[in-house]
Amino acid sequence: MSAQSQQSARTVVLTRTPKLYQVTLHNDNYTQMDFVVNLLMRVFHKSAQEASAIMLAVHQQGAGTAGVYTYDIAVTKKAQADQLAQEADFPLKVTVEEAER
């Protein structure tokens, strides 16, 4: 193959940054604050200080962001949080929505 043929055979690969999704915890009148803090530390790998700050946002503002992830990770973390809440008999609502950039 000539040098000219090799140059025209090159493929250009364009990559895009994947969309990010926000996992949000919503306030309710039943889920205990310490459960939320422990859940944030266990599922979302937050420090005790970060988890407490997010829990206070949930309590005072009605919702708080647990984290921003790619879709598969966000959905997995939501499922883990839902399972732990269900096992503890808490009605904690966790949602996943596309994050604003």
CB atoms near residue 85 (< 10 Å): 20
pLDDT of residue 10: 85
Handedness of CA 47, 49, 51, 53 (dihedral sign): negative
pLDDT of residue 3: 53
pLDDT of residue 14: 86
Sites in the chain below the pLDDT cut of 50: none
pTM above 0.95, yes or no: no
Topology of domain 19-98, CATH: Ribosomal Protein L30; Chain: A, (3.30.1390)
